[in-house]
Structure 1
Amino acid sequence: MDPVDVEYEPVSVKEVLSEMKDTAELLIDLSYSAVLNGSDEIAREVLELEERMDILQLQGRMSLLMAARNPEDAEQLAPVLGVIESAEKISNAAGDIAKVVLEDIGLPDAIRTALPEAAEMLVRATVAVNSPYDGRTLGDINMETETGVRVIAIRRRSVTGKRRWIQNPDQETEVRENDVLLLRGAQTGIADVYETVAGVPYEPPAAADPPIEDLERAVDSIILMKDMSELAVDLAYGAILFDSEGVAEEVNELEAEVDALKSRFEAWVLRAASRVEDPVQLRGLVHLASATEVISDAALEISEGVLRGLNAHPVVAVAVEESDEVIVRFTVREGSALARTTLGGKRVKTETGMRVIAVRRESHRPEGDDAGDGGDEWVIQPGPDTELRPGDVVIAKGTRAGAERLGEATGDPREFDE
């Protein structure tokens, strides 16, 4: 697509940073989903969002240049420029992942077939004329409770023809005819919701025979890389918001784990290449691993100022705080309502609207064990059966109102309380 002309106009750096944060997080989700589902449509949405990110970073840079009037201003605004550049790196990496699909760089057709049954999928559906959802709010539809499917974003065209994104839509968001909904959930729920939205049956990707016997292992690695890099980005922005060196150090640890995972994944691809007729069909997997490392490196760069003891400009924290989603972090205390219960048993997501994205807990592996040294371990993307224990550090993501409900449900969540 042709680049859009950008001219200087007064914009709020805070609003630019906030939109860049939300867009970067959505880009990660969409780009990996395009690969795992083999979806050209979702990959094209990634490239469109990447173009929007290009515009945002140019507007942000121009505004920062106009704001720097002396060396003191430049010193204080330099970390802000670093956050903008890091978000742009995440966007470019997501675009590279999408191009693996669009440009047929080399990807086994059987990846979708190899997805675990429990894995969620993401599809794109356009609201049809006379859809039962047209004109109703997401709260009224009650989609996630009824079907297990959630709307993670909506692309809408205005009366002037301009496209805009509604990221992290909430209960008050109204669904309208011709909206493009990005739906995430299990395939059974997706099929029903897709037909209700689009007015036509959902057609899953055709099954294909895997070229390698243990392709499932590669898919598991891709899902883990996605989850870890996405978590690193979430925590990086959280570190800025709460000026938490402890959280920034966790980003550092996650970045190191992604590097190790990427190395193991590349080794698997190289060994697998000797077992397929055409090794070129695995080339996209190498691109995917490299892009994942870029994303985790960018997350570390976002939090680097906190690690180095630099005070970020207040506009960064305000932008993170006012973005569509917030992150809260609290420790499960002895006697808490969540102690020794499961996420599903306490209906955390249903009752509060907050999605627990990770749990960090002390490992019980014995020292000297090859798997670790008895330090902390991460439970990434915990499910309804995940049990919370006293001492667990829980990281949840959702709306500000949801965070307040979570506080009421748990008694006293401490946001990034190092």
Structure 2
Amino acid sequence: MAPFEDGDESQSVEYEPVGVKQLLISMKDASELIVDLAYSALLHNSDPLAEEVLELESRMDVLQMQARMNTLMAARTTDGARQLAPVLGIIGAAEKISEAAGDIAQVVLGEEELPGSIRAALPEATEVLARATLSSDSPYNGRTLGDINLETETGVRVIALRHDRTEWELTPGYDTTLDEGDVLLLRGSEHGLDSVYETVTGERYERNEPVDHDITDLTRAVDTIVLMKNVSELSVDLAYASVLLDDTALAEEVHALEVEVDGLQSRLEAWVLRAASEVTDPVRLRGLFHLANSTELISDAALEITEGILRDIDTHPVIAESVKESEIGVRRVAVETGSPLAGETVTTVRETNPGVSVIAIHRVDDEWVFYPDSDDAVNEGDMLIARGTWNATEQLVATAGS
């Protein structure tokens, strides 16, 4: 890949024979990371994190151009072009996700102010992302991730790492060594992050306290934003899972979720307009519109990822391979008769399978439960959609059927 200078939006990109599969892996990982970074910047009102989002967005511009050029070079026949068409769709979708995340970052960096209640509400998502700088006296200093075995021990994983202001390492491996001053992006339940964050930084993890207000329509708007965020992120996970599993049913669920997000956006706009008459400065509510629009674009992009499956185009092997070789994946887990998971709660499943998050349950009566509550039960015949590292999710698949 051509050298990339941070912030250089006018950089020329020339064709280089980089494998399409590797480029797709990088784009998938980067697009997922950039969404995490964007919402983390929003939660913490962090300009540095927002600036990292914009740098990653620029990196994605280069990746998508390289991927498009290499994909077009690979399509030498009519059949090849037909199979590779969905690859171009996924490339474009990943780019749109990064652009939407960049728009969220611009809300943080811009003059538009969001109600404080939204920062208190957003952590209701299944997992939380925290940015932590490794202190010199941390017991992790000088050790590898494999030696620490963080995810297995705590359920918290390092999804990205940055050494000395270099580019983010998007998928740090077991042999990655942690050094003083490294910036870690930690992802996991808020409960699990408490101890890990303190071990990394030597400081307590500060949670966002709820901010109450008595404007009914604004409360509804904030709740809707949170729901849109959760549904759109779930759409991306299900979209990549449908590609890997060549699962039309999952792709159709992504379509249904996209329609739901469209409806939520319409309701949000109505509630914000009503709330405008109850606040001193209605202009400060513009950020909600921008955030809702960016979130809706993410769900639209997720639908584009599934286009090849919905149109019954044979999935090119490079797509499934790139999704599977990504560090984080989504697996379908069948809870068979007699499975030790049957009758357990979602919390128990997570605690006994560190590194795994149940993001959806498909019940035997065809009901879907998205982002199930901690005390929701797992029943025989259920189909779980689990997100996590491939090793962790593979272990969960084995457990579910044993």
Query: Do the aligned partners of 1:238 and 1:327 also contact (CA within 8 Å) in 2?
Result: yes
2:99 aligned partner: 92
SS in 2 for 1:405: helix
2:3 aligned partner: none
Q: In the TM superposition, what are the counterparts of 1:48-63 in structure 2 within 5 Å?
A: 48-63=55-70
Query: Do the aligned partners of 1:138 and 1:175 also contact (CA within 8 Å) in 2?
Result: yes
Query: Do the aligned partners of 1:28 and 1:226 also contact (CA within 8 Å) in 2?
Result: no
Counterpart among 270, 273, 276 of residue 273 in structure 2: 270
Q: Aligned-pair RMSD on alpha carbons?
A: 2.9
2:382 aligned partner: 392
Cα distance, 1:147–1:398 mapped onto 2, change above 3 Å: closer
Q: In the TM superposition, what are the counterparts of 1:293-304 in structure 2 within 5 Å?
A: 293-304=296-307
1:328 aligned partner: 331
**For residues 218 and 127 of structure 2, what CA distance do their matches in structure 1 show?**
18
Query: Do the aligned partners of 2:333 and 2:396 also contact (CA within 8 Å) in 1?
Result: no
**For residues 142 and 394 of structure 1, what CA distance do their matches in structure 2 show?**
25
SS in 1 for 2:278: coil
SS in 2 for 1:359: strand
2:169 aligned partner: 165
Q: Which amino acid aligns with 1:359?
A: I
For residues 341-362 of structure 1, what are the alpha-carbon distances to aligned partners after superposition, in whole Å with 9 as ceiling and x for unaligned?
21333x4444353221111236
2:288 aligned partner: 285
**For residues 175 and 372 of structure 2, what CA distance do their matches in structure 1 show?**
27
SS in 2 for 1:183: strand
2:398 aligned partner: 408
For residues 91-117 of structure 1, what are the alpha-carbon distances to aligned partners after superposition, in whole Å with 9 as ceiling and x for unaligned?
111111111111123312443345678
Query: Do the aligned partners of 1:194 and 1:201 also contact (CA within 8 Å) in 2?
Result: yes
Query: Do the aligned partners of 1:114 and 1:216 also contact (CA within 8 Å) in 2?
Result: no
**For residues 355 and 206 of structure 1, what CA distance do their matches in structure 2 show?**
24
1:358 aligned partner: 360
Query: What is the TM-score with the length of structure 1 in the denominator?
Result: 0.84
**For residues 384 and 377 of structure 2, what CA distance do their matches in structure 1 show?**
11
1:311 aligned partner: 314
| 1:257 and 2:264 matched | no
Per mean C-alpha deviation after superposition, the further-off stretch among 52-61 and 127-136 is 127-136
For residues 191-225 of structure 1, what are the alpha-carbon distances to aligned partners after superposition, in whole Å with 9 as ceiling and x for unaligned?
65445433556666798674846655444322222
Cα distance, 1:316–1:92 mapped onto 2, change above 3 Å: same
2:135 aligned partner: 128
**For residues 187 and 396 of structure 1, what CA distance do their matches in structure 2 show?**
18
**For residues 378 and 39 of structure 1, what CA distance do their matches in structure 2 show?**
35
Query: Do the aligned partners of 1:127 and 1:178 also contact (CA within 8 Å) in 2?
Result: yes
Structure 1 residue 329: Cα displacement: 0.7
Cα distance, 1:341–1:130 mapped onto 2, change above 3 Å: closer
Cα distance, 1:306–1:339 mapped onto 2, change above 3 Å: same
Query: Do the aligned partners of 1:111 and 1:215 also contact (CA within 8 Å) in 2?
Result: no
Counterpart among 112, 125, 147 of residue 105 in structure 1: 112
Query: Do the aligned partners of 2:336 and 2:400 also contact (CA within 8 Å) in 1?
Result: no
Per mean C-alpha deviation after superposition, the further-off stretch among 275-284 and 385-394 is 385-394
2:8 aligned partner: 2
2:340 aligned partner: 337
2:184 aligned partner: 181
Query: Do the aligned partners of 1:93 and 1:292 also contact (CA within 8 Å) in 2?
Result: yes
**For residues 363 and 62 of structure 2, what CA distance do their matches in structure 1 show?**
40
**For residues 144 and 213 of structure 1, what CA distance do their matches in structure 2 show?**
41
2:4 aligned partner: none
Structure 1 residue 88: Cα displacement: 0.6
Query: Do the aligned partners of 1:32 and 1:226 also contact (CA within 8 Å) in 2?
Result: no
Query: Do the aligned partners of 1:349 and 1:355 also contact (CA within 8 Å) in 2?
Result: no
Per mean C-alpha deviation after superposition, the further-off stretch among 192-201 and 128-137 is 192-201
Cα distance, 1:153–1:214 mapped onto 2, change above 3 Å: farther
Structure 1 residue 381: Cα displacement: 2.5
Gaps of 5+ in 2: 1-6
Structure 1 residue 187: Cα displacement: 6.2
Per mean C-alpha deviation after superposition, the further-off stretch among 83-92 and 333-342 is 333-342
**For residues 219 and 233 of structure 1, what CA distance do their matches in structure 2 show?**
22
For residues 250-289 of structure 1, what are the alpha-carbon distances to aligned partners after superposition, in whole Å with 9 as ceiling and x for unaligned?
1111111111222222222111111111111110111111
**For residues 213 and 148 of structure 1, what CA distance do their matches in structure 2 show?**
37
Query: What is the TM-score with the length of structure 2 in the denominator?
Result: 0.87
For residues 20-77 of structure 1, what are the alpha-carbon distances to aligned partners after superposition, in whole Å with 9 as ceiling and x for unaligned?
1121122222222322332223222211221121111011011123223344433332
Aligned length: 395
